[in-house]
Structure 1
């Protein structure tokens, strides 16, 4: 059973390391155990104040701001702490680490953060693995069923720099994807705007729409098989489900994609030992010349995806 503690009115002075964040994102990170819905309620009602004034959830913190937090009930127990097995798996999945950045090979099936019905995500696990780390924040996200390179900033200053790079195309992300059918080699770039939609069931889905946000993905053929194609993919924008939707939009959904894929094809792929989405964030290239920071990291292809490729290669011999 979860227990709760009552916090008093708190005043915080924003440091240079904390400046630049949206107030809602800062509170979500700072107020562990407080539901996101409650955070937005205390923002709407003006219980959270900056320099004695009301602010909107989109307000960005400035150095020297005095933040007032009202009395709050916080959970003593965090229901999203991952299991010991997940902690061990994540500890073994670290690809790169320095004083600024942590890169892991995120396992498929693990969400980047915990939530309703999710018993702990990557960020909760890393905070459990690094209990004395003053700062750990996701730089970007990967879908729950996607494996591969995931960046976690260890300093707020690095998070800001990497977000700037992501917005300006300064981080090169490379994926491998196995798709249905034989991809047309002349299709190298897919530029189709994407819009998030919410179904009546509450499920989130992304569709190509003229009213959506711009999205650009580059595809190149790595290897073609009898009924599938292995693609190397580079997204130039970071829209939700971008690679999956752009591939399906071309008539070549990713193998194992239960949301945007073909169920008959997915059933056939299950005979080839595929039990997950065949999408892997293989490589990251980061270039920050102003601090002489250059990094290229790769995540090895998981055994489960290699087994599926072996099955596809066997079909070429018949």
Structure 2
């Protein structure tokens, strides 16, 4: 069943939400890939202007929705009990309003094309009494570590604003090629996500059309031809750490899109089977309390690679 052009005004309770998340709430029968496709093509307008997926909408904004062919929503598969049990053991923090989980590598955060269920579906199965459970941010499928979900709409909006205002601190550990200089290395290259290579979405540094992105790298351990770095990010752009590191001449180990093939083969011989990127720590502002500090230990597969490098 098709629809014509529609205009939706953003309510106060949706203020601060990402545009892509807003659209998924408005267009529940439209597959996620189609939503991102109409965003890329500029068919969604906010106050008459093209907008990108991570735009934070505000109360009173007028959102144009293009004509769409609606299909029955695909049913999300029920996650296996073994996975639900595993994720239950990976919860790092929980209170009445939010929880922080240590996401395993290989698990997508949402269901989609070729993905029967995502982490959010596992969490909803684990907490069926929380119908408003939603993820506040994302991690790539191949990335492990700290991920935040909220249990109520008000908590979601509060943390959305905190992320937008850069009051949340996110720290990653990454293994990169080569050696970084002493002290902190700051990368401020703007990134554009609407370029494709080989049929896959990719990201590149683009100062003319990209969005501001800031990553702070600090070498914490060096090896023969590789470095373990701590990365603090001020923005959360798609593939930000991977692209900034590659642009600096230090691509991430195991990165099959922006990495170095020879380096990746060397790391594979040491046991690396995926992207070496882990969301190690998170600091979240809490109303009337000290910021919440959460850490996720480095997984055994990545620790094993470091042990091999040290040996």
1:152 aligned counterpart, secondary structure? strand
1:35 counterpart = 2:52: no
Q: Is the 8 A contact 2:183 2:219 kept in 1?
A: no
Structure 2 CA distance for partners of 1:39 and 1:190, relative to 1, 3 Å: closer
Answer yes or no: is 1:132 the counterpart of 2:137: no
What is the root-mean-square deviation of aligned Cα atoms in Å?
Answer: 2.8
Kindly tell me: are residues 129 and 87 of structure 1, through their superposed partners in 2, closer, same or farther at Cα, counting changes over 3 Å? same
Find the aligned partners of 2:26 and 2:82 in 1 and give their Cα distance.
Answer: 27
Give the alignment partner of residue 268 of structure 1, picking from 266, 285, 289. Answer: 266
2-structure distance, mates of 1:168, 1:195: 21
Structure 1: state its 5+ residue gaps. 1-13, 41-55, 63-71
Instruction: Identify the residue that residue 224 of structure 2 maps to in structure 1.
Output: 226
TM-score under structure 1 normalisation? 0.78
The correspondence of residues 1-318 of structure 1 with structure 2, limited to 5 A, is 18-20=13-15, 25-26=21-22, 28-29=24-25, 35-36=31-32, 74-75=72-73, 78-185=75-182, 188-199=185-196, 201-210=198-207, 211-288=209-286, 290-292=287-289, 294-314=291-311
1: CA distance between counterparts of 2:18 and 2:263? 43
CA distance in 2: counterparts of 1:195 and 1:15, whole angstroms? 29
Q: Higher Cα Rg: structure 1 or 2?
A: 1
Does the CA contact (< 8 Å) of 2:32 and 2:112 recur in 1?
Answer: no
Deviation at 1:28, TM superposition (A): 2.8
CA distance in 1, matches of 2:194, 2:87: 32
Q: Distance in 2 between matches of 1:194 and 1:39?
A: 21
- Counterpart contact for 1:80–1:121, Cα < 8 Å: no
Q: Could you tell me how far 1:32 is from its partner in structure 2? A: 5.8
- In structure 1, C-alpha distance between the alignment counterparts of 2:35 and 2:160, rounded to whole Å: 24
CA contact (8 A) 2:172 2:232 kept: yes
Q: 1:266 deviation in Å?
A: 0.6
SS in 1 for 2:310: helix
- Secondary structure of the residue aligned to 2:123 is helix
Q: Is the 8 A contact 2:33 2:112 kept in 1?
A: no
